[in-house]
A and B are shown apart, each in its own frame.
Chain A
């Protein structure tokens, strides 16, 4: 194992505990992907496909009733599945920071923005004034004025709140930033402001970025690679530009076909039939087969193989059924 990867997720499975949900239901079913230093990867898929769950596992934020049982999550070389909560606390924020979809529900309404950013560096052995200086500098870095330090969350706009969240996530200069739908709750122009900021910060801090979204065209606009998730598995990983031009997996193809900008007025959008299956009632074989336009007999019977070629990965019988086991290219 090299340090080349900031994040290396291998065969990650998350299973709901039997006591609560009856049979142990797998909700992440062997997720594998890597992020190199300074690389950005987007996780794309419909709601319920396991994108946020993957992010939460990486941050070690999964609730108690869920147990991580299999796989490795190597964050800067440390397997966070194996270490204790205590050790995890030291890694969180320092190695990986995270921002969320609705900033308003992640900021504490009774504390000022400044004091909430300050909390992350409380443990540092420096004077109060120095700490405040660090916070103010951070606020400037995310494009906010100094006086935001003394404001309460309700006095800030959605865009400003998200910027405060970014400041909190980056104040301990992590190597990886996880952004979980950071722009979904925002306006177009505010959203493009946040995306622009993420681009700038990524360069300035040499960040690796895991960007989670359901909008594949938004992702394709600024990340290096895209991983498409469906029913707790990654079904395709490819270069961001390549995936938009030549999607391999039928699901990716259908996701791209949902974009209204690909149609002329009056045309019907070729929407994906059906909906994301319940994890308790996953269809046999390939989980996507009931919605797939190219479904074959074999898809109903057995799990599709993972086919790797060059930098791409696809999990579909259409590309043969010889299973290669080498990782990466």
Chain B
């Protein structure tokens, strides 16, 4: 299988001031293959969105290399980077905030079409894109507030498609929607994937949705990937205790933020204070991702 994305030891550190730091991404190593849907699950604050934004070049990583196909994004600059960026797009969680309220839908979608074509052709293209995503082209001169949540998410999708990308990060695209609308949007994602041979990275905290749409799944916890592999392996035979808790979505106590910050400064597993099967070793050593099955990795000493 062709590798589309390759991330090597990508970290993102934010300075909170007063000498406090937070590691939003902690040495992320992963690959995304062409044509797959790569699911990322985790709670808010686990670094899912940061990961998506780092890949889109919206945030610069503190360390590490990101390869898209054979090009290293972290080394590219200027027009080369701009040209490459057309290849990948992102759809955000909140369709109420990610569309400019003062721009007509047609203009929003048209912005992405920059090829040397005249305005009439661009207009045709916008109509086509809206039609594809299920918005009546007659409504192209309306403003975002004249659309429902599901319709706005369709407009976001049309905008993402306007640069004819091969890869799309879907950052919780259905979590603000009703279940009946979510069903339609998920169907649309699948249709578009087949039609344009797209590759997706699908970020969500909803395990049911990821389990439905993804081929491979990564589980994130406090900026680290703690487990990843084929969906069937991860969902049916989770190795990391955190994955287990997420899947059963059973209730567990959250650690204090201060506790986590304290732990981030030292060696050891970040899940230690919450882990039902923690041992002494987990407090002093960091478990690295180890292969526990074919293509199935987990960062837990239990796996050894």
Contacts and interface: CB of A to CB of B under 8 A. Distances in A.
Are A and B part of the same complex? Answer: yes
Interface of A: 46-47, 159, 187-190, 192-193, 195-196, 214-216, 254-255, 257-261, 263, 265-266, 268-272, 275
A189 B252 contact: yes
Nearest to A273: B184
B224 interface: no
Given A46-B181, A187-B44, 15 more contacts: A159-B254, A187-B43, A188-B205, A188-B206, A189-B249, A190-B254, A192-B251, A214-B179, A214-B180, A260-B183, A266-B190, A269-B183, A269-B184, A269-B186, A272-B183
A266 B232 CA distance: 14
Contacts of A259: 179, 208
Contact of B179 (A215, A263, A265): A215
Interface stretch (B56-64, B69-77, B209-217): B209-217
Interface residues of B, number: 33
Interface in B236-254: 245-246, 249-252, 254
Contacts of B43: 187-190
Nearest to A194: B251
10 contacts: A189-B43, A189-B245, A189-B252, A190-B254, A214-B180, A259-B179, A269-B183, A271-B180, A271-B187, A275-B148
Contact of B178 (A195, A196, A214, A265): A214
Interface of B: 43-44, 148-150, 178-184, 186-187, 190, 205-209, 211-215, 231, 245-246, 249-252, 254
A159 B251 CA distance: 13
A193 B214 CA distance: 26
Given A260-B186, A261-B212, A46 B180 contact: yes
A196 B253 CA distance: 11
B205 A263 contact: no
Contacts of B187: 268-269, 271
Contacts of B246: 188-189
A47 B151 CA distance: 14
B212 A189 contact: no
A188 B249 contact: yes
A265 B215 contact: yes
B183 A258 contact: yes
Nearest to A158: B44
Contacts of B150: 275
User: Which 4 A-B pairs give the minimum distances between C-beta atoms?
Assistant: A260-B212, A271-B183, A258-B183, A269-B183
A266 B231 CA distance: 13
B213 A265 contact: yes
Given A215-B179, A255-B180, A188 B251 contact: no
Contacts of B183: 257-258, 260, 269-272
B249 A192 contact: yes
Contacts of B209: 260
B208 A196 contact: no
Nearest to B191: A268
A192 B205 CA distance: 13
A272 B180 contact: yes
Given A187-B44, A261-B212, A268-B187, A196 B251 contact: yes
Nearest to B253: A193
Contacts of B186: 260, 269
Nearest to B232: A265
B299 to A, nearest CB: 19
A46 B231 CA distance: 30
Contacts of A159: 254
A257 B180 CA distance: 9
Nearest to B37: A265
B56 to A, nearest CB: 23
Given A192-B250, A269-B187, A216 B211 contact: no
Contact of A265 (B207, B208, B231, B251): B231
Nearest to B250: A192
A189 B42 CA distance: 9
A187 B205 contact: yes
Contacts of B212: 260-261, 263, 265
Contacts of B214: 265
Contacts of B178: 46-47, 214
Contacts of A190: 43, 254
A272 to B, nearest CB: 5
Contacts of A260: 182-183, 186, 208-209, 211-213
A218 B276 CA distance: 26
